[in-house]
């Protein structure tokens, strides 16, 4: 059993980053909403309190009972967490005269052992708060200050309780990784043993025990997540895994056959099902993005139900759900507010009568790739860009028709092949084209045209939680635009999306 860190989510946009930074230290952690603290606290070896958009001074401020944690477990409060520990333990949190957002310097570190071991003075940190800790809580000992914040960090005497008003998880905090390592490894005594090899070994054993002699049906997409899930299950249960790859009519150009050929070399038992007509018919006339996702999710269930009946005595449905899917799909008042629904999260209708197994549901995307490499999966498959489950349906804004799908497949094909030709594909985390619900005036030859507009999107990211647009070479964009307009009938204008996430999402729907 691994030593596990509990991260209590108070609604910060950075909570998932805390988890990723902890995992990068080869330490396993889990995120739980502040108002659903696990009953078995003994399972966790340390606790981190996240930031929050709330003020501790507000009447509706999150106020969980931490009596079983504080003073009993190594505890680190980050930003709101630091103010929470002060405010509810006889300290004083007040509105700050000078709000600190962005970069700051720890001008004074009063104790270079413990939490700040190996961290020099004047190190850069990232602040994001409008309140400040005016007076430390009972037993509080100041550890560090910035020019404008006297109590930038403190500890509680006689406890392994620490608090910082800055965010160690963000890139702009120069020694954030060192601080987290100091707290988790040196103060909490946690052994960094969360590795891809350990995950594979433990997950295969878990699957053997959980599934037993049961039969599992798995929907393959050709992407990283479902492929790694399939190989893990195959390693655990062999011939009892039945894989299905569905052509929903919304795949990339030639992808259905290309993916089937790819899986043929991996030793997996895969059946290809062309259900494109069913999906396109179910989507006809639907414009709302959520309605499209639900229609596709419902049709997937119908197709799988049909296919599952062709395999005798199927017990389980496997899914390639990963941790960001789980986090984004948890809808509570405050933390983890739903951004969009995920059709592969949340269970099955009662009529399907299958149990769900999700071997990757606690992994981030980069961890899935490392596990895939450990399993010996081809690096070209592991390096594939993420592709949305609903496929091109959420890259066609508005209603779906066969003609729109054809246009977008051709545009996407030119864009993705161009990235490969220019040696840019592996420098981009995800790329795709969007078909916009507008037409624009153009001139081709001596004729006036009134045709469609497409937007190209390329982002760099680690796990999709945050993303930046990629500054692709102008020469590449020029060539790609020319090829699209000259070769794809129905398109006369190409634009490039330079929005980051947040505030924009990676997909347009």
Interatomic CA distance for residues 73 and 445, integer angstroms: 73
User: How is residue 166 written in tokens?
Assistant: 């800055």
Judge whether 475 counts as a catalytic residue: no
Classify each residue of 352-378 as buried b or exposed e, where b means 16 or more C-beta atoms within 10 Å of its C-beta.
bebbbbbbbbbbbbebbbbbbebbebe
- DSSP annotation string for 277-308: HHHHHHHTT---HHHHHHHHHHHHHHHHHHHH
DSSP state of 157: T
Judge whether 72 counts as a catalytic residue: no
- 118: alpha, beta or left? (left if phi > 0; alpha if psi -120 to 50): left
Interatomic CA distance for residues 480 and 419, integer angstroms: 9
Single out the residue of 185, 214, 222, 178 nearest to residue 312, CA to CA: 214
DSSP state of 467: B
Cis ω for the linkage preceding 503 (within 30 of 0): yes
Interatomic CA distance for residues 249 and 246, integer angstroms: 9
Judge whether 135 counts as a catalytic residue: no
Residue with tokens 């995307």: 365
Interatomic CA distance for residues 463 and 328, integer angstroms: 12
Cα-flanking dihedrals φ and ψ of residue 506, to 5°?
A: -70, -50
Neighbouring-strand partners of residue 92: 135
Cβ count near 504 (within 10 Å):
15
Interatomic CA distance for residues 15 and 400, integer angstroms: 36
Q: Which of 2, 29, 79, 255 is catalytic?
A: 79
DSSP state of 426: G
Q: Which of 29, 100, 129, 169 is catalytic?
A: 169
Interatomic CA distance for residues 143 and 106, integer angstroms: 10
Is the Cβ–Cβ distance between 21 and 169 less than 8 Å?
yes
Stated as kind and residue range, the H or E segment containing 180 is helix 176-181
First-to-last CA distance in the chain?
40
Neighbouring-strand partners of residue 109: 144
| Catalytic residue list | 79, 167, 169
């Amino acid at each position: 059993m691994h030593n596990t860190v509990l991260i209590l989510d108070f609604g910060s946009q950075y909570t998932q980053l805390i988890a990723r930074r902890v995992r990068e230290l080869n330490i396993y952690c889990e995120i739980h909403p502040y108002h659903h603290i696990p009953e078995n606290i003994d399972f966790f070896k340390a606790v981190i309190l996240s930031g929050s958009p709330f003020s501790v001074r507000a009447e509706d401020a999150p106020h969980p009972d931490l009596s079983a944690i504080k003073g009993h477990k190594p505890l680190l409060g980050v930003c709101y967490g630091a103010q929470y520990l002060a405010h509810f333990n006889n300290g004083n949190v007040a509105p700050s005269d000078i709000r600190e957002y962005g970069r700051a310097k720890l001008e004074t570190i009063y104790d270079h052992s413990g939490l700040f071991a190996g961290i020099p003075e004047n190190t850069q940190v990232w602040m994001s708060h409008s309140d400040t800790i005016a007076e430390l809580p009972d037993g509080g000992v100041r550890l560090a200050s910035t020019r404008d914040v006297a109590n930038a960090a403190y500890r509680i005497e006689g406890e392994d309780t620490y608090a910082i008003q800055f965010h160690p998880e963000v890139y702009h905090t120069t020694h954030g990784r060192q601080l987290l390592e100091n707290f988790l490894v040196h103060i909490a005594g946690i052994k960094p043993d969360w590795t891809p090899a350990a995950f594979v070994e433990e997950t295969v054993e878990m699957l053997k025990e959980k599934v037993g002699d049961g039969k599992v049906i798995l929907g393959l997409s050709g992407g990283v997540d479902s492929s790694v899930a399939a190989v893990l299950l195959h390693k655990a249960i062999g011939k009892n895994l039945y894989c299905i790859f569905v052509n929903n009519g919304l795949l990339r150009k030639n992808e259905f056959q290309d993916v089937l050929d790819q899986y043929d070399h991996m030793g997996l038992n895969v059946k290809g099902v062309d259900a494109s007509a069913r999906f396109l018919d179910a989507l006809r006339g639907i414009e709302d993005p959520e309605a499209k996702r639900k229609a596709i999710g419902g049709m997937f269930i119908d197709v799988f139900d049909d296919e599952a009946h062709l395999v005798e005595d199927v017990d389980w449905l496997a899914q390639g759900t990963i941790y960001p899917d789980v986090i984004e799909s948890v809808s509570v008042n405050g933390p983890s507010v739903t951004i969009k629904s995920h059709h592969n999260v949340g269970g099955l209708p009662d009529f399907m009568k299958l149990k769900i197994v999700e071997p990757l549901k606690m992994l981030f995307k980069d961890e899935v790739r490392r596990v895939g490499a450990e399993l010996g999966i081809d690096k070209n498959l592991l390096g594939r860009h993420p592709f949305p489950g609903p496929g091109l349906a959420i890259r066609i804004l508005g209603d779906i028709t066969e003609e729109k799908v054809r246009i977008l497949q051709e545009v996407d094909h030119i864009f993705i092949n161009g990235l490969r030709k220019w040696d840019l594909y592996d420098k981009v985390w995800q790329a795709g084209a969007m078909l916009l619900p507008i037409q624009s005036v153009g001139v081709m030859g001596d004729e006036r045209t009134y045709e469609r507009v497409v937007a190209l999107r390329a982002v760099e990211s680690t796990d999709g939680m945050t993303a930046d647009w990629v500054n692709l070479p102008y020469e590449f964009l020029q060539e790609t635009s020319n090829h699209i307009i000259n070769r794809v009938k129905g398109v006369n204008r190409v634009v490039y999306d330079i929005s980051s996430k947040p505030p924009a999402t990676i997909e347009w729907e």
